[in-house]
Amino acid sequence: MVWAKIENQQHLHLPVSIPEGKALQELKQQDRKAYKFWFREIKRQAAHERWMEKAPFRTPARLARTGQFFGLAAVAVMAVLVAYVAYLDHPWLAGVLGVLDFVGLAAIFANTDDPH
């Protein structure tokens, strides 16, 4: 029962409120540590908000680059296989595998963002 309540708990992080200039000066004069803590939290919140605003654009691009890297590695391995098959004097098989390798290379770097 206790674990179920803990798992269902939701966290609500409210933004740090920014007091007016005079109240901020009073806080700075009265409690220097509280002022530094508040200022550090404001900077952390601003950095977090900037990161969250850019995350939807950053993550898909990172995944696409990773996929392109692994796809290029697979195409390179396939090219080595084509060269080995050609070395073994099987030109038709090497030709078919080479065409598939070329199609795979084109598919890796094709622009898939365009819906048309």
pLDDT digits (tens, 9 = 90+) for 28-62: 788 888 888 888 888 888 888 888 888 777 777 77
**Is 115 part of any domain?**
no
**Is 5 part of any domain?**
no
Residues 61-74 have pLDDT tens digits of: 777 788 778 888 88
What is the reported pLDDT for 1?
45
**Is 10 part of any domain?**
no
Domain of residue 21: give its range.
16-108
**Is 95 part of any domain?**
yes
Q: How many domains does the chain have?
A: 1
Global pTM reads 0.46
**Is 113 part of any domain?**
no
**Is 9 part of any domain?**
no
> CA 39, CA 42: separation in Å to the nearest integer?
5
| Contact criterion met (CB below 8 Å) for 100 and 78 | yes
**Is 11 part of any domain?**
no
**Is 49 part of any domain?**
yes
